[in-house]
Amino acid sequence: MKLAALVSGGKDSLYATYIASKRHEIRVLVTIKSLNPDSYMYHVPNIDLVKLQAKAMRLPLIFRHSAGAKEAELSDLRGALREAKIRYGIDGVVSGAIFSNYQRSRIERICNELGLVSLAPLWGRDPEELWKEMLDAGFEVIITAVAAYGLTDEWLGRLIDRNAFKELCNLHGVCYVCTAGEGGEFETLVINCPLFNERIRILQWHTEWDDKTQSGQFIVDDAVLVEK
């Protein structure tokens, strides 16, 4: 099939795209940037870096903004996928949902309306197994936001190597932090993976931390593509 990939810049959407690319043709990336930091549907931190990821993948990108109102977000996605179908002749859509039935069911509904197949290759998978597969495949993933007990500001900007992965697993056992991060415990950014012809190098950044909520973000101010 010819697919559009819903991408946020994070690990789940790009790993789902990677899996789908083995059997299908990825024609275009689709990204919705929500103006609502508490969006129900869309990843928010550093989402503009999807533009660099698309360039590294040599793929066109449909990048749309959304006010982020709960159900209105779906209208924005519907419009972007309709454009992808018309311009790039897609048959289906791949997304990175693992446990969020809210996300998956709404994507499926839009796909049904547009006559598209919805693929969710990560659905129901064990998060720890997915992390192992990503690391084995050469995915380089950093933490860009944390919002869960046990995840301190020291995690912001941290590359998830095998040692960091073990720490995440330990936190899951002690603090019940979901290692998928799909509940908003943390957000990620992929800076290198097999889909990229170049890797992302972060040149400037800053962090924001709220002691009251024990949450924070790693904000990329400047980044470029460099040779692997």
Q: Looking at the predicted structure, is the pLDDT value of residue 44 above 80?
A: no
Q: What is the pLDDT of residue 48?
A: 96
The CATH code of domain 127-226 reads 3.90.1490.10
Alpha carbon distance 183, 141 (integer Å): 18
User: Across the strands, what pairs with 219?
Assistant: 206
pLDDT-derived band at 74, boundaries 50, 70, 90: confident
Query: Which ranges of the chain does DSSP label H, i.e. alpha helix?
Result: 11-21, 50-57, 72-88, 101-114, 127-137, 162-175
Q: Residue 182 pLDDT more than 80?
A: no
Token digits of residue 149: 């007990």
CA 38 to CA 32: how far, in whole Å? Answer: 14
CATH 3.90.1490.10 domain residues, the chain: 127-226
For residue 141, the SS3 value is strand
* Assigned token pair, 39: 């969006």
Q: Considering only 43-57, 104-118, 162-176, 192-206, which range has the smallest mean pLDDT?
A: 162-176
pLDDT at 227: 98
Asked if CATH classification 3.40.50.620 holds for the domain at 2-119, the reply, yes or no, is yes
pLDDT of the residue at 176: 47
Helical packing angle, 11-21 and 127-137, nearest 10°: 70
Beta-bridge partners for 140: 192
**Beta strands at 92-94 and 117-119: parallel, antiparallel or unpaired:** parallel
Q: Among residues of the chain, what percentage have pLDDT more than 70?
A: 88
Where are the domain boundaries for CATH 3.40.50.620 in the chain? 2-119
Determine the pLDDT at residue 221. 97
pLDDT class for 43, splitting at 50, 70, 90? low
